[in-house]
């Protein structure tokens, strides 16, 4: 079987984990957490990066930092993972879902302004597949109405919009280092802070509501509970695994892009015949080959193609049942306007295997199997 995903396995990552273990460093926010943070701060020119136990944790931190309270409204696409909405619903916000663009599967920036009310507090653009949302327009709207922007860049590390790294554009940004992402901690994430006024409180919330970070820096003589918070720290062993990957981040990125481009070239004839649609990357956007997906005619065709590929030893997946149609989505949110594309396009989309060191022969086999299906 060709698996759908395989996390990077780097020798130096194993050496880092062994080093941490031998030194007895198992706690959260240890030396490798700090190394990973500094790497991202330097690479992406971000004021502060805090490694977290998951991207979900980073989003929850963001919701607290944005002072979300019951009755506030938060605008986001319905085509996203539930963590995007959960983080704000946990604080009592109403989630306002907006339709997506069919070309990128990102929130339709032209529909955001009409969804704003006096209760709106935050816009959450989700950069699907590492392809940026139209951030200039989103920032313009946010500035006009005095709203915060939290980038859900879970899939977007090493991507950019008009030269700016994803996650570094809004007030806050989040990355995921789940095992399915390009760079993996197994479970892990990061909060990217682009507004310096958030830094001190973010450290406090992340450390269970204590000023422990200030104590460790010698800024206070003892630490205590000073704010609400939770334990958003990852085990340093997970960060040790991640740091080995960051040291060869460009190599991993180049390898994945090579597979992505080979998929695209191999399947382009089918797209030209109108049998499938291929991913679209707008001008000014640089992606990271987080995923390669195709779009087929409809749900029935996708189901048949998944079965066909499985018979050829290939695992392919779809994801994101639109949140507005889910049980929790109906309870905690509402869809603004008409669902022209969110449901229809989600039912057409099929993700193909994509991971570091995916063999070219396997990509050829996958592409050939798809072509055989359409014969």
Tokens 């695992």 correspond to what residue?
Answer: 315
Cα(62)–Cα(279) distance, rounded to whole angstroms? 30
pLDDT recorded at residue 24? 85
pLDDT recorded at residue 5? 97
Give the pair of three-digit tokens for residue 120: 């709106």
pLDDT recorded at residue 354? 98
Helix (H) or strand (E) holding 38: helix 31-44
In the sheet with 94-98, reading across from the earlier edge strand, the strands are 48-52, 189-193, 172-176, 148-152, 120-123, 73-77, 94-98, 333-335
Cα(32)–Cα(241) distance, rounded to whole angstroms? 9
Residue 145: closest CA among 82, 75, 89: 75
Domains of the chain: 11-246 (3.40.640.10), 249-374 (3.90.1150.10)
pLDDT recorded at residue 175? 98
pLDDT recorded at residue 216? 86
Q: Phi and psi for 15 in degrees, rounded to 5?
A: -65, -40
144 class by beta-carbon count within 10 Å (0-12 exposed, 13-18 middle, 19+ buried): exposed
Tokens 């991207």 correspond to what residue?
Answer: 55
pLDDT recorded at residue 299? 97
pTM: 0.96
Q: What is the chain's pLDDT, residue by residue, as a tens digit (375 residues)?
A: 999 999 999 999 999 999 999 888 888 889 999 999 999 999 999 999 999 999 999 999 999 999 999 999 999 999 999 999 999 999 999 999 999 999 999 999 999 999 999 999 999 999 999 999 999 999 999 999 999 999 999 999 999 999 999 999 999 999 999 999 999 999 999 999 999 999 999 999 999 999 989 988 889 989 999 999 999 999 999 999 999 999 999 999 999 999 999 999 999 999 999 999 999 999 999 999 999 999 999 999 999 999 999 999 999 999 889 999 999 999 999 999 999 999 999 999 999 999 999 999 999 999 999 999 999
pLDDT recorded at residue 293? 98
Residue 149: closest CA among 130, 162, 167: 167
Number of other residues whose CB lies within 10 A of the CB of residue 224: 10
pLDDT recorded at residue 60? 98
């Amino acid at each position: 079987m060709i698996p759908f995903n395989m996390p990077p396995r780097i020798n130096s990552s194993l050496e880092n984990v062994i080093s941490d273990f031998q030194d007895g460093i198992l706690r959260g926010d240890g030396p490798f957490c700090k190394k990973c943070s500094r790497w991202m701060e330097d690479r992406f020119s971000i004021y502060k990066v805090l490694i977290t136990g998951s991207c979900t944790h980073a989003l929850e931190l963001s919701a607290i930092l944005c002072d979300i309270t019951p009755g506030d409204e938060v605008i986001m696409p319905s085509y996203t993972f539930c963590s995007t909405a959960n983080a704000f619903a946990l604080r009592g916000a109403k989630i306002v879902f907006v339709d997506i663009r069919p070309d990128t599967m990102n929130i339709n920036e032209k529909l955001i302004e009409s969804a704003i009310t006096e209760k709106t507090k935050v816009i959450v653009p989700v950069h699907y597949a590492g392809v940026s949302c139209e951030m200039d327009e989103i920032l313009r709207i946010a500035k006009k109405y005095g709203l915060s922007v939290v980038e859900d860049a879970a899939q977007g590390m090493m991507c950019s919009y008009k030269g700016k790294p994803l996650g570094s554009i809004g007030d806050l940004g989040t990355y995921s280092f789940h095992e399915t992402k390009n760079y993996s901690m197994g479970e892990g994430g990061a909060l990217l802070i682009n507004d310096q006024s958030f830094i001190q409180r973010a450290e406090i919330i992340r450390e269970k509501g204590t000023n422990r970070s200030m104590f460790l820096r010698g800024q206070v003589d003892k630490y205590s509970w000073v704010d609400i918070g939770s334990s958003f720290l990852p085990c340093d062993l997970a960060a040790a695994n991640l740091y080995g990957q960051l040291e060869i981040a460009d190599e991993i990125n180049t390898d994945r892009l090579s597979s992505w481009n080979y998929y695209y070239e191999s399947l382009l004839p089918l797209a030209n015949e109108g049998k499938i649609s291929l991913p679209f990357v707008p001008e000014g956007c640089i992606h990271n080959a987080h995923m390669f997906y195709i779009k087929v005619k409809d749900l029935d065709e996708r189901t048949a193609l998944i079965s066909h590929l499985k018979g050829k030893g290939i695992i392919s997946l779809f994801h994101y049942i639109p949140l507005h149609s889910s049980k929790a989505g109906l309870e905690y949110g509402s869809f603004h306007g008409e669902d022209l594309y969110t449901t229809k396009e989600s039912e057409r989309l099929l993700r193909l295997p994509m991971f570091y060191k995916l063999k070219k022969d396997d990509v050829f086999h996958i592409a050939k199997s798809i072509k055989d299906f359409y014969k």
